[in-house]
Amino acid sequence: GKAIRPWIDIVEDVRTRVVWMTIIDAASDSEAVVATFAEATLGREMPDGTFVGGIAGIWKTDRGRDYIAKDTRDVAARLGGTQVVCESHAPYQKGPVESAIRILIRHIAIENPGRVRRTSFGQRLPWHEEDGPLLLFEEFCDRAFTKLDWYLTERIHQALGRTPLEEWKACTDPIY
């Protein structure tokens, strides 16, 4: 089949770096963005039983057409939040989410040499001498969700000094 670049939508709590929800699809559209918002609001249970998610007061989004679509703005408003659209080419405004995506993809690539052709932003992986068979979309998704659990429960976040899940459990502030 044809190689596709998976589209990854993430909702992440800015304070604790806990990823509330991730949707991976072959392409992005405003329906996928709305679904990600809705799933994040419903939340999810972590492997240790901790519930993460809720209603965010501020939805910080990319400027992509799918994020600034009317139905995306409407769902943020119906959920009681305000959508803040980041400036173009301003990674400092959406850096934590971009960083989480880069970390996930890079670790999947490291553990599957030759099976992931490029990291984010189209950079060729320098340690690959030649490409092997690419991961199937379902394989990529399985590995991404496994890596996401690792990112939240085992990987020490440099700025936090602990895992995002430990920070979430220690945080006593309301969600927004």
For 137-158, how does the pLDDT look when each residue is reduced to its tens digit (9 = 90+)?
Answer: 888 888 888 888 898 899 998 8
Q: DSSP of 36-78, one letter per residue?
A: HHHHHHH-EE-TTS-EE----SEEEE--STTTSSHHHHHHHHH
Distance CA 15, CA 164 (A): 9
Angle 150-151-155 from CA coordinates, rounded to 5°: 90
pLDDT score, position 57: 76
* Cα distance from N-terminal residue to C-terminal residue, the chain: 44
Helix (H) or strand (E) holding 33: helix 30-42
pLDDT score, position 162: 94
C-alpha distances out from residue 5 to 67, 81, 96, Å: 19, 30, 21
Residues 113-135 pLDDT 10s: 666 665 544 444 444 445 567 77
Q: Residue 86 in contact with residue 62, Cβ under 8 Å? A: yes
Residues 61-104 pLDDT 10s: 777 777 777 877 788 788 777 788 888 777 777 777 777 777 87
For the whole model, what pTM was predicted? 0.74
- Provide, rounded to the nearest whole percent, the portion of the chain with pLDDT above 90: 7
